[in-house]
Structure 1
Amino acid sequence: MLYREAHSDDIAQIQIVRNAVKENRLSNPDIVPDKDVLFYITEKGKGWVCIAGAKIVGFSIVDLQENNIWALFVHPDYAEKGIGKELHRLMLAWYFEQTRKTVYLGTAPNTRAEVFYTKQGWNAVGTYTNGEVKFEMTFENYQSKQES
């Protein structure tokens, strides 16, 4: 597996992964157009991809302007191989090199993603109006997870 920063020419494969997931599916794939992905990886923050063979099998994107994890998805055929954990690590390391501000994310309740974020040290702090669980990661909590 190769991990690297996401580039604009990765967007088509990022969209394939995003639309292949079984949880936190988009009700309509057009909700997240290519131009939005480009905006997030080039202007609002940064993204990373995991490549197996010649294809992208996972990606993560963090929004530095809004202090938010915008995306972390792994193709179902590559689940449970540590890809999400490594993408998560790369993303948070970069984020906390840029700022000490608390970062947030939302995910559907009672999903593998909710369990994943809890295991990675995120704290559930409420619910968004769309019903997603609201998680936060403080810089202090991030640091303590790195030391353990």
Structure 2
Amino acid sequence: MMIREAKPEDIPQIQRVRNSVKENTLSDPGLVTDEDCSEFLFQRGKGWVCEIEDEIVGFSIADLKGNNIWALFVHPDFENRGIGRKLHDIMLDWYFEQNKDSVWLGTSPGTRAEIFYRKSGWKEMGIHGKGEIKFEITFKNWKNKVV
């Protein structure tokens, strides 16, 4: 397993992973374009991918402009291997190296993602978008995380 920064040529595999998930699915896969991915990866923030045998099996993207976690997804065939945790931690370490502003994300209620974020120190801040739970984590809470 190797985690590295995302490159432009990773976008097709990132899209494949995004569209393979069973929770937090897109109602229309066309809603997130390759151009959207490129903008969030290289203009608004940064992203990371997890590769196993040259195949991208997970990715994360932080949006500095919006103080938002734009994406964190792992292909269903590769869940429960610690990939999401590693991508999450690398992404947040980088985010808080760039600035100390709180960061937020939205996820569907009743999902494993909701449980993951709660266990990771994220605090529920209400409802966002189309019924998603809005979570936030502060620099202080991240800095003081239990390893």
Q: Give yes or no for TM over 0.5.
A: yes
Return the alpha-carbon distance in structure 2 between the equivalents of residues 78 and 67 of structure 1: 28
- Tell me the residue number matched to 1:96: 96
- Tell me the residue number matched to 2:35: 35
1:144 correspondence with 2:107: no
Return the alpha-carbon distance in structure 2 between the equivalents of residues 32 and 19 of structure 1: 10
Report the alpha carbon displacement of residue 125 of structure 1 after superposing the two structures with TM: 1.1
Return the alpha-carbon distance in structure 1 between the equivalents of residues 88 and 129 of structure 2: 25
Report the alpha carbon displacement of residue 130 of structure 1 after superposing the two structures with TM: 1.1
- Tell me the residue number matched to 1:46: 46
1:79 correspondence with 2:79: yes
What secondary structure does 1:93 align onto? Answer: helix
Report the alpha carbon displacement of residue 51 of structure 1 after superposing the two structures with TM: 0.1
What secondary structure does 2:23 align onto? Answer: coil
User: Per-residue displacement from partner, 1:103-129 (whole Å, max 9, x unpaired)?
Assistant: 000000000000000111100111114
1:105 is aligned with what amino acid?
L
- Matched residue count: 147
1:126 correspondence with 2:131: no
What secondary structure does 2:60 align onto? Answer: strand
Return the alpha-carbon distance in structure 2 between the equivalents of residues 95 and 23 of structure 1: 25
Report the alpha carbon displacement of residue 49 of structure 1 after superposing the two structures with TM: 0.1
- Tell me the residue number matched to 1:6: 6
1:89 is aligned with what amino acid?
D
Taking structure 1 as reference, are residues 21 and 132 closer, same or farther at Cα in structure 2, changes over 3 Å only?
Answer: same
What secondary structure does 1:145 align onto? Answer: coil
Return the alpha-carbon distance in structure 2 between the equivalents of residues 37 and 139 of structure 1: 26
Q: Supply the RMSD in Å over aligned alpha carbons.
A: 0.8
Return the alpha-carbon distance in structure 1 between the equivalents of residues 130 and 62 of structure 2: 20
Return the alpha-carbon distance in structure 1 between the equivalents of residues 128 and 117 of structure 2: 16
Identity %, equivalent residues: 56
- Tell me the residue number matched to 1:64: 64
**Which consecutive unaligned segments of at least 5 residues does structure 1 have?**
none
Return the alpha-carbon distance in structure 2 between the equivalents of residues 129 and 100 of structure 1: 25
TM-score where L is the length of structure 1: 0.98
